[in-house]
Amino acid sequence: MAQNWSKQIGTVATALAVVFSLWMIASVGISDSANIVISPDEVSAATNTSFSGSATVAPDYLDRVAVAGAFITILGTSGFAVIKNNKDNPEFIRVIMSWSPVIIGFIAFSAFNTEIMDLLQGDRVWASYDDVQNSYMGFLAFSMVAGIAALLNKRA
């Protein structure tokens, strides 16, 4: 019985993580989102401001990993299923696909726990942030919840 509620929470949280990651990448733009991961020095000033608070400071390492996680979420089986978790893929792809909610959730908790707890507790003032910041924190918060649910489901 306990496994049913954790699966439902995980499913809803994963769906919300997909929605927020799509929103974030659409708000930033696919090109700028890819640049965050691959070449952060080429990111636009507006994107820099959304991620770092300064037009001249590029997104940091954790932002780069989290945005890569957004791409994995969208392209993986939770999103458009472009990348599938099957035996034909190399082992490292299967591990990343299988554990991505936990990995992203850990990054979210370790780097953004105050912002995420504000969101989950209903204390976030959405109007104080732009679309990129809101969708980024939504993606991280619901990825963290999905990661916790995934851990509960793997243990059961």
Mean pLDDT computed over every residue of the chain: 92
What does pTM read for this prediction?
A: 0.91
Helix, strand, coil: what percent of the chain each, to 5? 80, 0, 20
pLDDT tens-digit readout, 71-98? 999 999 888 988 888 888 899 888 888 8
Q: What is the pLDDT averaged over residues 110-134?
A: 95
124-133: list long-range contacts, CB under 8 Å, 24+ apart.
130/27, 130/50, 131/23, 131/27, 132/24, 132/27, 132/28, 132/47, 132/50, 132/51, 133/50
Backbone angles phi and psi of 68, in degrees to 5: -60, -40
Domain extents in the chain: 2-155
